[in-house]
């Protein structure tokens, strides 16, 4: 049984495994390091001995094998021992200078079965070649140009995802606090001032003055028992999507705007948060006089420092909507009718008492209003 030594690169192992199996079917004793080297063997001694014991030296030419130092040492040893060398071109590459005068067997673009028969013919095989199956490359997830860079690509992709997750602000939709303003209407009666009239008849006059005032609701603050109140922290206003923000009179967008729009990168002192810690209460006695108009107002927490995370070390405030009473009464739907006063004439030197339409210069009229 003739012995064959196969020199190759480990990166082409899938093809060499099939080639070695098919050559063993043809009756050759094939030596290749995967099956013939055992643990503890001395490579420096085992490889030259295997080459020397072989009648044929088959080298699988690929871009990987021509760059391998071990493959170069192996075919140099085979040339030194004057072994019969059969190059096998599996992938297009430049033939090493020491082997460029030797014809190679082409396995590129040709059916594997035909190329295998040509290899047996180069080895001087006689007889009927064994039946072999076509060679199918293992499906590769990435092209060869990217496979050697796959590990740096994966590490870079993981770093990119981690950077995006840690740096991008997490916007939380603030809870909506619905408050219904309650306005208690009160009756107002406008009573005309009694005026002396020359007419003796009473004419009812309707005088209705409707006046209604709605006072905005401001929440009353009740300290929560879970935190100690009246601590102060300073945060700066920031946002990626606006140039100014609104300060609200309560912790929600349904509350009225307090003061002028607040410009970004302004730093204010805060003294409390609502129970959900989604809004912060602006503390009194701000250092900047321009910020005093916002004292007692509320700012959404995601607009402070590009989004605060975790628990804010400020007192929690329980909110109770309390309407502020109005000093201005509101009208009722029923008008109040006030009759004109009844005139009572006084006695005059005239012998006849009478109520005249137009008082004379000598008459003195005393108006006595009737409730």
Please tell me the distance from the alpha carbon of residue 184 to that of residue 135, in angstroms, as a whole number.
92
Please tell me the distance from the alpha carbon of residue 113 to that of residue 212, in angstroms, as a whole number.
101
Please tell me the distance from the alpha carbon of residue 260 to that of residue 20, in angstroms, as a whole number.
85
Q: Which parts of 54-111 fold into alpha helices (H)? A: 69-80
> How does pLDDT run across 165-193, given as a tens digit for each residue?
887 655 445 555 555 554 444 444 444 44
User: Which residues have C-beta within 8 Å of that of residue 343, sequence separation ≥ 6?
Assistant: 196, 197, 200, 355, 365, 367, 368
CA-based R_g, the chain, Å: 52
DSSP bridge partners of 223: 317
Q: What pLDDT is stored for residue 307 in this prediction?
A: 57
The domains found in the chain, sorted by start residue, are 3-122 (3.40.50.10140), 218-322 (2.30.30.40)
276 pLDDT above the threshold of 90: no
Q: What pLDDT is stored for residue 188 in this prediction?
A: 42
To 5 degrees, how large is the angle CA 141–CA 34–CA 3?
Answer: 125
Please tell me the distance from the alpha carbon of residue 319 to that of residue 250, in angstroms, as a whole number.
9
* Cα 94 to chain centroid, rounded: 52
Candidates 42, 40, 39, 19; CA nearest to 31 is: 19
197 pLDDT above the threshold of 70: no
**Token duo for residue 80:** 């030194």
Please tell me the distance from the alpha carbon of residue 74 to that of residue 35, in angstroms, as a whole number.
17
Please tell me the distance from the alpha carbon of residue 56 to that of residue 2, in angstroms, as a whole number.
8
CA distances from 108 to 3, 16, 90, 112, 125 (A): 25, 15, 6, 9, 22
Of 45-59, 231-245, 274-288, which gets the smallest average pLDDT? 231-245
Please tell me the distance from the alpha carbon of residue 240 to that of residue 256, in angstroms, as a whole number.
23
- pTM of the predicted protein model: 0.39
């Amino acid at each position: 049984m003739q012995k064959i030594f196969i020199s190759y690169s480990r990166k082409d192992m899938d093809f060499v495994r099939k080639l070695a199996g098919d050559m063993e079917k043809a009756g050759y004793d094939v030596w290749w390091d995967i099956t013939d080297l055992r643990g503890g063997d001395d490579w420096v001694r085992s490889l030259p001995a295997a080459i020397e014991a072989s009648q044929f030296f088959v080298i699988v030419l690929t871009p990987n094998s021509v760059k391998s130092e071990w493959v170069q040492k192996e075919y140099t040893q085979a040339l030194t021992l004057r072994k019969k060398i059969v190059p096998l071109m599996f992938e297009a590459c430049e033939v090493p200078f020491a082997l460029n005068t030797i014809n190679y067997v082409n396995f590129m673009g040709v059916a594997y079965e035909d190329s295998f028969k040509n290899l047996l013919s180069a080895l001087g095989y006689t007889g009927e070649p064994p039946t072999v199956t076509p060679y199918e490359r293992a499906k590769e997830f990435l092209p060869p140009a990217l496979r050697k860079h796959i590990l740096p690509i994966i590490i870079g992709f993981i770093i990119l995802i981690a950077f995006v997750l840690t740096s991008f602000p997490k916007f939380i939709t603030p809870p909506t606090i619905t408050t219904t303003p309650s306005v208690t209407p009160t009756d107002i009666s406008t009573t005309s001032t009694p005026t002396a009239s020359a007419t003796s008849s009473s004419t009812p006059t309707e005088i209705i003055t409707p006046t209604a005032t709605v006072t905005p609701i401001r929440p009353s603050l009740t300290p929560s028992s879970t935190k100690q109140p009246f601590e102060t922290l300073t945060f700066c206003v920031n946002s990626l999507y606006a140039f100014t923000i609104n300060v609200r009179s309560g912790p929600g967008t349904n509350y009225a705007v307090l003061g002028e729009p607040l410009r970004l990168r302004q730093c204010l002192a805060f003294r409390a948060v609502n129970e959900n810690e989604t809004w912060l209460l602006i503390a009194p006695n701000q250092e900047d006089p321009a910020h005093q108009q916002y004292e007692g107002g509320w700012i959404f927490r995601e607009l402070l420092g590009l989004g605060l995370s975790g628990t804010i070390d400020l007192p929690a405030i329980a909110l109770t909507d309390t309407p502020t009473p109005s000093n201005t009464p509101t009208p009722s739907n029923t008008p109040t009718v006030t009759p004109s006063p009844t005139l009572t004439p006084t006695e005059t030197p005239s012998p006849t008492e009478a109520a005249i339409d137009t008082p004379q210069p000598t008459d003195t009229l005393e108006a006595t209003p009737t409730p």
